[in-house]
Structure 1
Amino acid sequence: MEFNLPVTAAALLAIVGVGTAALIGMGFMATNTVLMMVTPSMLAFGLVALFLGIKHGEYRATR
């Protein structure tokens, strides 16, 4: 599987979407809290982790 920008973005959005749906479905947190605080935090952390993972992969590939 070739990971290009559209595939990577779709995978990240799918993971965040499943996490958001699970948190809303479990119902132990208010939906407003999940959508306004948790989901943006998941997206931000996912983007940071993705960036660091890409940079680490580039570093490992050149060594």
Structure 2
Amino acid sequence: MEFDLPRAAGIVALIIALGTAGVAVGTPMGIGTTLMMVLPSMLVFGAVAFAVGMKHGEFRATRA
């Protein structure tokens, strides 16, 4: 399966949305706290992991 940037970014966004929803439903933490603390940290970590993964994939692809 070929991944392009919009499809890969959409998958990352879906994973972050599911994770945020799971934390909001599964813990006694308030929804305001979840949206102010958990969601931004998940977005930043997802962006950093995505960028590192893309660069690693580019490196692996050029080192055939």
Same fold (TM over 0.5): yes
TM range (shorter): 0.7 to 0.9
Give the TM-score normalised by the residue count of structure 2.
0.86
Deviates more, 1:27-36 or 1:38-47: 27-36
- Alpha-carbon offset, residue 51 of structure 1: 0.5
Aligned-pair identity (%): 52
2:60 corresponds in structure 1 to 60
5+ long unaligned stretches in structure 2: none
Distance 1:62 1:2 in 2: 17
Distance 1:58 1:52 in 2: 10
> Superposition RMSD on alpha carbons, in Å?
1.1
Q: Which runs of 4+ in 1 moved over 4 A?
A: none
Deviates more, 1:24-33 or 1:7-16: 24-33
Give the TM-score normalised by the residue count of structure 1.
0.88
